[in-house]
Amino acid sequence: MSECIKYDVVLVGAGPANLTLAYRLLQLAKKPIKIAIFEKGKAVGSHLLSGAVSNPRVISKLFPNWMNSDFPLQGIVQESNLSLVSARRWENLPSFATPPYFKKEGYAILNLSDLATYMVRQIKELEQGKDGAIVDVFPGFAATSIIYDGNRVIGVRVDDTGDDESDICYGNVISFGDKGFLSREIVTKFNLSNNPQIYSVGVKEVWETNESYEGKVWHTIGYPMEPGHFGGGFIYGCKNNKLAIGMVLSCAFQNPNIEPPQILQELKKHHYVQDMIRGGKLIKYGAAILPEGGYYSMPEKFAVDGAILLGDACGTLDVKRFSGVDKAMESGYQAAESVLKALEDGDFSGTALGLFQENLMNGWVGQEIRNSRYFRQAFVDYPELNKKVIPGIIDSINAGKAPWYAVMKMGIKDPFGSLELLNAKKMIENPSDKGPVVYEEDRLSVSKGFKKAEKESPVGFDHSLLYSTADVVFYANTHYEEDNNHIDELDANVCANCIKEYDAAGYKTPCVGDCTADVHQTLDNGDYRYHSMALENCVQCRTCEIVCPNSNLRVNAAMHGYGPDFSGM
Amino acid sequence: MSDELKIVVLIKQVPDTSSVAGVNPDGTVDRARAKRMINPFDKFALQKALELRAEHGGVIIAISMGPPPAIEVLFDAIEHGADKGFLLSDKRLAASDTLATAYALFKCIEYIKDVDIVFTGLQTTDGDTAQTGPQIAERLNYPQITYCEDLIVENGKVKASRIIDGGVQKLEAPMPILVTVANSATRLEHKQFANVYRSKELLRDEQAKKERIQLLDLDKINADPKKVGLVGSPTVVGKTWKIGEKGGSCRLFKGAAVSKEVETLVDCLSTEGRGIEEYVR
């Protein structure tokens, strides 16, 4: 063990949570501290993707001068729209009718990959000015498995030369800020949650447009969402005539073939979006998952012996407020004190490391996540909301009527149902305690008997602004070499049977139908159809693992920096 | 000990071809804005050096010429396992063509002294001339093997195979020698975590860093400033222009039986009787 490589703190993933932790540790540390940052992307930020419109509350805490520095700001929201969208119409709701959590004026428009690059630069600067502080960043080195000593996390494997001494990085504290690639193992092994995490998948395109929309943002409800499908669209105007267009789609939906990139194309067919992107060009494409279970999907403990969970690994995202980045950063901010104290005392037990949990949950993160705790469940308990109410409103808009016309009509036709809806509204807006909710795993929602609803499509759109999934993946700039093999198919027979069942039902299997990058395919070998993967396309969103009905796929962190290049996303 | 080799690898930092580089009004690449990377061809040269050192022992010295950020490729080379790096950086070198570049690098190699083998890539992705390597060999008065795919060192001689039209040429040459490595040679192995860790540890120590990575300028290598840069470069860039842009119009033919998909593909290739039909129908 004398030769082994060891740091005080090892960060798994260079995302906003872990980078905040690193920055904060350097700010607070009074003694020498040695930090390693592992990032599976070929560069810091190359696997980071988010909307992102974010409350800058943690950014301004970390970098008080951020507004007047080289901080990579894409814009400040001047005009925040909640838009009701039908195939023919696009209604931006007046401010009085917009719920407060949809009002984003004054928020920062960010691209997460640039934010991470900036933060690493700041961290390195802080390191320079601090005696005994060491921060080593290892881009292109993915932590691929966790090393335990009994029940204590002591390190991560980051290379595969076959020699443990060279392949393992040990740490007193391992901080997981990943989207589950590794941290799901901690949650399972230590039995930290009896409620599964549920996910949405987000797809996003960045366009360069003729006009500038800087500071304008839209969040959409309605078209092109299927009735009953939880999710919506977003359009964020960034500087330099860039426009981010995206859809966020729940993985908990009956339809086995969501085809996320194609739903995004549907949104782009709308004349309102067409007008913005006509004459422009597509710059980038990407996809990522969002843990949206919220309060009740969070682990009971945010720390175990030797390790902590931050950001998406901890499930701090607040789906009601679309607030992920700031809460992830705050988790890192709060964790710094516990980690430092643990280092000072030499006590790396889960109890010592987990002291920050209380601060985090008593602060604004906890308050907001608690306030949102039934938001997602309201759409499960009152499926009518998504199946009838919203589609009803959208239909009346499509017919040229005011949104409240539909609400009134429903009230007259079904007064009792409307009262029920008031309960749903209460769950969303002002929840009183009704005990914990238990989610069903996303994959269990998928139904072979799903019937797609007939829906109206926009007409007169410009085809050249739309992309097939195979085409759009080109803009994710993925790079893999032949030694890559980052998705495990656990049992080929399970896949063959699944394909048989879905073929009979007239659907593609969920892995094929929900893939954001045309990775999964079913091929015929003459005797039967089997599952195959074009891994060179993969943008590492992990959707296939989540929707696989048989939990037969496992997406691991790809090594050697393989994967997409989301820089600028 | 006597067969230990002093190996020089020439590497260049080029604009990252996977990122969109800006183009200046005069048609040249805006290097300041472009993301940077190690010239992909040079990776094959570095790999050959690593293989040779593993076999015979010795040192690998990476040399780069370029503006100060080019030091990044030297760090890169050291993380891959190179022993030392030299960066030749001098404002007077700006706008050097291959003649001037080869002269400057030749003076560098002279400065380093007693080199056994110089490896270079075939060419660079930004200039694409493949001239610099051979020119350096001429100036050094070394034999040169271009397009080299494979080589061994035996009894102080290099036995190599190089790619030629229609096959492979085997040849033997004495050292010191300059070898430009083909891009069909062994790919550069991935960096190892332990190597990267050790080089970070090492370069933290300012003294060790100075020993490992040295900065050179024209005066230090005793080069004639009149032979480099714009004044030393007879090449004139007449005009550059954009001939098009990569873009996605990719279509995958899949789902149905292969025979059917091929038919659809042929239909798509249709040129209304002006081309492909007569060959495929």
Residues in B closer than 8 angstroms to A140, CB to CB, are 191
Q: What is the mean pLDDT of residues B228-252?
A: 79
With cut-offs at 50, 70 and 90, classify the pLDDT of residue B26: low
The distance in angstroms from the start CA to the end CA of chain A is 42
With cut-offs at 50, 70 and 90, classify the pLDDT of residue A48: very high
Instruction: Give Cβ neighbours of residue B98 (< 8 Å, ≥ 6 apart).
Output: B127, B129, B131, B132, B135, B235
| Token pair listed for A258 | 């969501």
- Alpha helix (H) residue ranges in A141-196: 164-167, 183-189
> Residue A276's Cα: distance from chain center in Å?
26
Say if the Cβ atoms of A140 and B191 lie within 8 Å.
Answer: yes
Instruction: Give Cβ neighbours of residue B23 (< 8 Å, ≥ 6 apart).
Output: B29, B30, B242
CATH number, domain B5-227: 3.40.50.620
Q: Return the SS3 of B227.
A: helix
DSSP codes joined into one string, A105-117: TTPEEE-HHHHHH
Instruction: State the number of CA atoms in the 13 A half-sphere of A29 facing the CB.
Output: 25
Q: Specify burial of residue A246 (Cβ count, 10 A radius: 0-12, 13-18, 19+).
A: buried
Best of B197, B254, B258 to substitute, by most chain A Cβ atoms within 10 angstroms, is B197
| Token pair listed for A116 | 């991470």
- Alpha helix (H) residue ranges in B113-181: 132-140
**What pLDDT, in 10s, does the model give residues A89-114?**
999 999 888 999 999 999 999 999 99
Fold of A478-555: Alpha-Beta Plaits (3.30.70)
Percentage of chain A lying above the pLDDT 70 cut:
99
pLDDT over 50 at B216, yes or no:
yes
pLDDT given at position B236: 85
Residues in A closer than 8 angstroms to B192, CB to CB, are 159, 161, 166
CA pair distance B77, B164, nearest whole angstrom: 29
Say if the Cβ atoms of B194 and A159 lie within 8 Å.
Answer: yes
Give the CA distances from residue A459 to residues A89, A233, A282, A448, B133, in Å, rounded to whole numbers and listed in that order: 12, 19, 21, 30, 59
Say if the Cβ atoms of A567 and B19 lie within 8 Å.
Answer: yes
Q: What does the domain layout of chain B look like in residue ranges? A: 5-227, 251-281
Partner residue opposite A521 with nearest CB, options B20, B190, B254: B254
Is the CATH number of domain A5-66+112-193+298-371 1.10.760.10? no
**How far off is chain B from A381, nearest CA to CA, in Å?**
39
pLDDT given at position B173: 97
* Nearest-10 Cα torsion for A533, A539, A540, A544: -50
Averaged pLDDT of chain A: 94
Range name among A75-79, A119-123, B27-31 with the lowest pLDDT average: B27-31
Give the CA distances from residue A114 to residues A79, A249, A566, in Å, rounded to whole numbers and listed in that order: 23, 25, 10
With cut-offs at 50, 70 and 90, classify the pLDDT of residue B253: confident
pLDDT over 80 at A421, yes or no:
no
Phi-psi region of A322 (alpha: psi -120 to 50; beta: other; left: phi over 0): left
Say if the Cβ atoms of A141 and B204 lie within 8 Å.
Answer: no
Percentage of chain A lying above the pLDDT 90 cut:
84
Residues in A closer than 8 angstroms to B254, CB to CB, are 521
Helix axis angle, A112-128 to A16-28, nearest 10°? 20
Averaged pLDDT of chain B: 89
Q: Hey, is the C-beta of B204 within 8 angstroms of any chain A C-beta?
A: yes
Identify the closest residue of chain A to B192 by CA–CA distance: A159
Q: What does the domain layout of chain A look like in residue ranges? A: 5-66+112-193+298-371, 375-436, 478-555
Choice between A137 and A96, residue whose per-residue pLDDT is larger: A137
Q: Hey, is the C-beta of A213 within 8 angstroms of any chain B C-beta?
A: no
With cut-offs at 50, 70 and 90, classify the pLDDT of residue B1: very low
**What pLDDT, in 10s, does the model give residues A206-222?**
999 999 999 999 999 99
**What pLDDT, in 10s, does the model give residues A395-417?**
888 988 877 777 777 777 777 66
What are the beta bridge partners of residue B38? B13
Choice between B31 and A156, residue whose per-residue pLDDT is larger: A156
Q: How many residues does chain A have?
A: 569
With cut-offs at 50, 70 and 90, classify the pLDDT of residue B271: low
**What pLDDT, in 10s, does the model give residues B137-169?**
999 999 999 999 999 999 989 999 999 999 999
pLDDT given at position A58: 97
Provide the ipTM.
Answer: 0.90
Say if the Cβ atoms of A166 and B193 lie within 8 Å.
Answer: yes
Give the CA distances from residue A203 to residues A140, A288, A441, in Å, rounded to whole numbers and listed in that order: 24, 7, 21
